[in-house]
Structure 1
Amino acid sequence: MSTENALLTILIEKINNDTLVLPTLPEIAVKVRESADDPDVNLMEMADVIGQDPALAARMIKISNSAFLGRTVKVSTLNQAVTRIGLRQIKNIATAMAMEQLFVSQNDLVKNYLDKSWQKTLEVASSAIALLQIYVKNNKHTSLNLDTITLAALVYNIGVLPILTEAERHPEVFANPAFLALAIKKLAGKIGGSIMRAWGFTDDFVEVAESWSNPNYRPSNACYVDFIRIGAIKEGVLKVSNKDEMLGSYVEKGIIPSIEMLQEDDYLNIRNDVKSAFS
C-alpha cells in the first residue's frame, strides 16, 4: 500500500472510531466567548478579556476602524473598539480574529501549506462577507447576519487541519499535492463538522463546514453556505463542472443579482475593504 493510501486509510479509521485529534479553540477565543455568554458582562470587562492578547487587541482596533464596519471616525483604544463593535458582534468577530493562530506549524512543508490555506480562506471569506453585505442591503428582513458569516467564513475549511497534522508525520505526502487535495476533498467536510460540534458552535457553523464543498447540497432558503460557496467558486477554491450554471442557480435563488456583479466595482470594492480589515 502506498504512503498516500495508507494515510487515507488511517484518517478514515480515526474518523470512524472517533479518535482523530481535533484542534482546540484558541484560549483567548474561549475566554471571549465565555465572557460574551455571561449576561452580566459589560463592555469594559470584555475589553479587559481581549486585552490579555495584545495581537488580538490590535486587530480588534483595526477592524473597528475598517470600511467593513462602515466607519470613518477612527478609534485608538481597545475600549473604544469594543464599544463600537458591541457585545452582540464581539463574540464571533474576536473568535474569527483568533483563527489564524491555528494555521501554524514548525514543519516548513506544513507551514507553507497552512500559509497558503489561510490566504485562500481569507480570499473566500472576503468574497462571502461582501456578498452577504450586498444581500442584506437588498433583503432587509433576512435572518442572516454579518457577524455570523464573519466567523463561519473563516472556519469553513477548518477540517483541513487534522488532515495536515496526520500528513505531517509523512513528509513525502507533501510532495504529492494531488493526494492532499483528494484527502481534503473526501474528508475535510466531515472533520470540519466534528470540530464545530466539539467547539460547541451552532448548527449554522456545522452546516457550513460539512456542506460548503458539496455542490449537490442546495437548501431552498438562503443560507450561509450559499455565500461561502459562491466565494469559493469565485476564488477558484471550489472547482465545479459548470461554473456559470452553478452561479446562475444563485441568481435564480436571489442570492446574487447577476453573475456579472462578481466583476463589478461595487462588489470588488467591498470585497477589498473586507480583506484589508482581516489581513
Structure 2
Amino acid sequence: MSGVLLSRDPAQLEVSLRDLHLPFQPQVLSAVLGLRDDTRMDFIELDRLIRADQNIASIILKMANSSFYSRGQEIRTLPQAIGMIGFRTIVSIVAAASAKSIFMSGNYARFRRYVWQHSLVTSIIAKIICEQLHWKNLTEEVFIGGLLHDIGKVILNHLDREKYIEVFNKTFETSKPFREAERELFGVDNGVVGQMVIKIWNLPTVYREVAVFIHRPADAALSHLPEKDQQIIRIVGLANQIAKANEFGFFEANSSVTTSDFFAALGILPGSALESINWNEAIEKDPYYQVFSFIG
C-alpha cells in the first residue's frame, strides 16, 4: 500500500486495516489472553498454544532457565516452565514474544529503538510500578498495555515505511508529537489505528482504551470507564513518561502532559517508592529486557 492515505471514516479505516498481512497470528495472542489459571483445561490449552509456535516455546524455556527463575534447576519441558514461572507470567511472555514479532517487521534501527524498545521498556516500568505500589493484581494487564500502546505506529510503518520515516524526521526536527506528524502524512494517527487493530484482533477492550487515553490522564471521558481500566491506562501512561524521561523513547518537547499529572491522577503522593528507583538499572536487570531487547 505505497503512498497510503487512510480514511478518517471508522468503517472505511476498518476495511483497510482488515486487509493487512502481518508476520503475526493475532488469534494466538487473543486465545492466550482469554485463558484463566485456575483450571487444568486452560493449563493444557496454554501448553498447546505455546507448542504451536517454536519461537515462543524456545523463549519460554530460555526465560525459565535464566538465573531470575531457575534457581539452579534445569528446566527441560514446557509444563515444567509453566510451573516454574507461573501461568500469568507465561501469558505476559507470550504477549511479549508476539509483540516483538510484529514490531520487528519495522526492521530499521531507529524504529526498533524508538518504537519496539520504548514499548518494551514502558511495559517493564508499568510492571515495576505495580509491584512497588502493591497493585499486583494489575501487573499483567499494564505489562501488555505497555507492549501494545504504540501498535498503531507499527501498522502505519507497515503500510508505508518511507512515509513513516518522514514521520520520524518531522518529529525529530520539530519535536512535534508523533500523532501530529502522522495526521499530516497519513490522515490518521497511531492512536486511532491502534485502537482499531486491537478491536480487529479481538483483544480485550482495555488495550484499545490505553491507545486512546495514554496521553490524557485527566480526560473527563475516562470517568465513564471502569475504575480498574482508568488505573491501567494511567499506569501505562506514567510508565510511558518515565521511559521517555530515561531516554527509552523520544521525548516530545511540545508535550503538555507531565509525570506529575499522572502521579496526581493515580493518587501517588510525594515520597513514594517510585522516586527512589534507579530506572536504568532496574530495566537492565529485568529478565524481559534481557531476553527481548534488541535494537541492533
If the TM-score is normalised by the length of the shorter chain, which range does it land in? 0.7 to 0.9
**Structure 1 pair 190–264 and aligned structure 2 pair: CA distance change class (3 A):** same
Q: 1:239 aligns to what?
A: 252
Q: Which residue of 2 aligns with 1:211?
A: 213
Rounded Cα–Cα distance in structure 2 between residues aligned with 1:264 and 1:249: 19
Shift of 1:29: 2.8
1:177 match: 168
Q: Does 1:248 align with 2:243?
A: no
CA RMSD of aligned residues (A): 3.8
Measure the CA separation in 1 of the matches of 2:67 and 2:215.
29
Task: Report the TM-score, using the length of structure 2 for normalisation.
Answer: 0.69
Whole-Å Cα distance in 1 between the matches of residues 200 and 83 of structure 2?
30
Shift of 1:157: 0.7
What amino acid maps onto 1:211 in structure 2? F
Contact persistence 1:125–1:154 (CA under 8 A): yes
Q: Following superposition of structure 1 onto structure 2, how do residues 95-114 of structure 1 map, counting pairs within 5 Å? A: 95-105=95-105, 110-112=106-108, 113-114=110-111
1:153 and 2:155 correspond: no
Q: Which moved further from structure 2: 50-59 or 215-224? A: 215-224
- Letter in structure 1 aligned against 2:204: T
Alpha-carbon separation, structure 2, partners of 1:66 and 1:35: 27
- Give the number of equivalent residue pairs: 260
C-alpha distance after superposition, 1:115-135 (max 9, x if no partner): 222112122222222112212
> 11, 27, 31: which one pairs with 2:6?
11
Higher mean C-alpha deviation, range 13-22 or range 197-206: 13-22
Paired residues of 1:248 and 1:258 also in contact (CA < 8 A): no
Cα distance between partner residues in 2 of 1:210 and 1:131: 21
Partner residue, 1:49: 49
Matched-pair contact (CA < 8 Å) for 1:56–1:94: yes
The whole-number CA distance in structure 2 between the counterparts of 1:215 and 1:35 is 27
Unaligned 5+ segments in structure 1 are 1-5
Equivalent-residue separation in structure 1 for 2:278 and 2:195 (angstroms): 33
TM-score with structure 1 setting the length: 0.73
Counterpart-to-counterpart distance in 1, 2:79 and 2:199: 32
Correspondent of 1:167 among 160, 167, 173: 160
Q: Shift of residue 223 of structure 1?
A: 1.3
The residue identity in structure 2 corresponding to 1:76 is I
Cα contact 1:35–1:46 (8 A) shared by 2 = no
**Structure 1 residues 20-99: aligned runs within 5 Å:** 20-22=16-18, 25-26=24-25, 29-30=28-29, 33=32, 36=35, 41=41, 43-44=43-44, 46-64=46-64, 72=71, 74-77=73-76, 78-99=78-99
Residues 213-253 of structure 1: per-residue CA shift (max 9 Å, x gap): 3455364655112122112212224636577x732233334
Which one-letter code corresponds to 2:158 in the other structure? T
Question: What's the secondary structure of 2:41's corresponding residue?
Answer: coil
Identity among equivalent pairs (%): 15
Decide whether aligned partners of structure 1 residues 189 and 34 sit closer, same or farther in structure 2, where only a CA change above 3 A counts.
closer
Check whether the contact 1:128–1:153 (CA below 8 A) recurs between aligned residues: yes
- Report the counterpart of residue 290 of structure 2 in structure 1: 276
SS of the equivalent of 2:16 reads: coil
- Paired residues for 1:216-235 under 5 Å: 217=219, 219=222, 221=227, 223-235=231-243
Report the 3-state secondary structure (helix = DSSP H, G, I; strand = E; otherwise coil) of the residue aligned with 2:49: helix
Q: Which residue of 2 aligns with 1:3?
A: none
